[in-house]
Structure 1
């Protein structure tokens, strides 16, 4: 592990002003199409599910509408299973895994749950392959009251009527090599600090909620995913990303305190998936299948506990 404060924008040791944040935003470029890779799936999904627009990103509302997909036969007596993807736009399999789940496995669960899926919370980040939003802000540190991040605030408003009804929430993410090569150096520069660069775990792992760890639930998801893709081993200190291993493939964060998407509901079963797409042992399709396996493993566990 080493430290970094080297980045082409800003002055080392000084937090960015609005001018540096604007310089960062101007340097970003569109690299793929939200319309082609995400919105195009919705037409087919409308045949089976309700597809609702719950907002749009202010940076370009026409280009970046925000959609949720939910069970057509919504029954207030049933528990809600929430699946979110693309909080970090660059984490591709989170978005594509949510869509693949809807297209393949979701109909099997529609009679047991009210399914609610927000597959791509950060479409600008998806197109520019970014962790941050246009304001150089991490949406996955912004799920709190009065959030300044529209990606978080808009979803939170949409979910308000469902408060207290969530049984399960699984938030689909990736950990990539660019976390060390781009995103942590950018974070250090933005905040005017020096940050450690950590060893990226080679495999899939979960991040549980420290205040609601649900170890049996986490174990069930890991077991389901292990049939599809390798689970990350602990490092020599028994940790992943500097956090103590709670069980095979599982660490915990204080999600609500940190403003993580995983902490936005009081669901008794909640977790964040972390796929490692840069491993030589996987490819893009395997990463998508791992996300689908995580969702179905979570749902199967919840069914057994009903």
Structure 2
């Protein structure tokens, strides 16, 4: 099945050049405001947390400041937890769930953990409800020291000084119907490969690190989220998005080798959440609450291990 059957840019079988990327970029439109929906929420937290700009992105004519929120009473003797959202800007509950956690629950961990929360790694993608950055690069395949993605490079630099001291990293994502209708076809077209259709799992699931599975940790997070929203079942082949289910609601990837955000530290406990916002059985508020439940369960488990 050729990419041309699904995507209007490029020649089937040929990777995109700069002309095709420019054509793709010209199709993208701002659909919401990073300043109004994200930055304003971050600024409102300054009374209880340290807020700072850790990088900037210049995508003319747009300019974006990148924000991180830290525990005010940072204590090097405490374990450190990293929470990231919006690596894929279109995955709304990752961003809004991180902000909701900061508003509603983060204060409970004062004196127990150092929190570093980056609610929106990819503001250009957030505004355009897109997976890529304007250079048609997926930030979540680009986390390395020489990253071609400005979003990934900025987060890499932020985390580098504490990489070996992070105990927990939870990266908040969604799997949406547009993964199948837009983003996977676009990826196939960009790379000059055939598009191979797959299904979208209905429900929440986690992606663990196949090189450091920590299945008891993953199970604890799934159990907590099950009280908020439904967990995605395996398909008839025992898979979720093409990967074997290793525990209910859990699949695994080699996160560091793939350049995924979840591999950006040396944390013992890492996981990537995947919420399904297009389910007939879930609301936006429920999706945000599922992300908050996952963060809290991750923290509670990691801190209980001593």
TM-score range, shorter chain: over 0.9
Q: Which runs of 5 or more structure 2 residues have no equivalent in the other structure?
A: none
Q: Which residue of 1 aligns with 2:152?
A: 152
Number of aligned residue pairs: 305
Runs of 4+ in 1 over 6 A off after TM superposition: none
Question: Shift in Å at residue 163 of structure 1?
Answer: 2.2
Tell me the distance in 2 between the aligned counterparts of 1:239 and 1:229. Answer: 20
CA gap 1:84/1:61 in 2 versus in 1, 3 angstroms: farther
Tell me the distance in 2 between the aligned counterparts of 1:117 and 1:64. Answer: 17
Tell me the distance in 1 between the aligned counterparts of 2:160 and 2:245. Answer: 33
Q: Which residue of 1 aligns with 2:278?
A: 278
Question: Shift in Å at residue 60 of structure 1?
Answer: 4.7
CA gap 1:18/1:4 in 2 versus in 1, 3 angstroms: closer
Q: Which residue of 2 aligns with 1:166?
A: 166
TM superposition score normalised by structure 1: 0.98
Question: Shift in Å at residue 145 of structure 1?
Answer: 2.1
Let me know the Cα RMSD of the aligned residues: 1.2
Greater alpha carbon shift after TM alignment, 54-63 vs 264-273 = 54-63
Q: Which residue of 1 aligns with 2:134?
A: 134
Tell me the distance in 1 between the aligned counterparts of 2:113 and 2:237. Answer: 40
Tell me the distance in 1 between the aligned counterparts of 2:67 and 2:60. Answer: 15
Q: Which residue of 1 aligns with 2:240?
A: 240
- 1:278-297 equivalence runs, <5 A: 278-297=278-297
Q: Which residue of 2 aligns with 1:111?
A: 111
2:274 match: secondary structure: strand
Q: Which runs of 5 or more structure 1 residues have no equivalent in the other structure?
A: none
2:2–2:12 Cα contact (<8 Å) kept: no
2:163–2:264 Cα contact (<8 Å) kept: no
Tell me the distance in 2 between the aligned counterparts of 1:144 and 1:195. Answer: 27
Question: Shift in Å at residue 178 of structure 1?
Answer: 0.2
Greater alpha carbon shift after TM alignment, 42-51 vs 82-91 = 42-51
Q: Which residue of 2 aligns with 1:220?
A: 220
1:217–1:301 Cα contact (<8 Å) kept: yes
Q: Which residue of 2 aligns with 1:25?
A: 25
1:54 match: secondary structure: strand
Question: Shift in Å at residue 142 of structure 1?
Answer: 0.1
Tell me the distance in 2 between the aligned counterparts of 1:17 and 1:84. Answer: 31
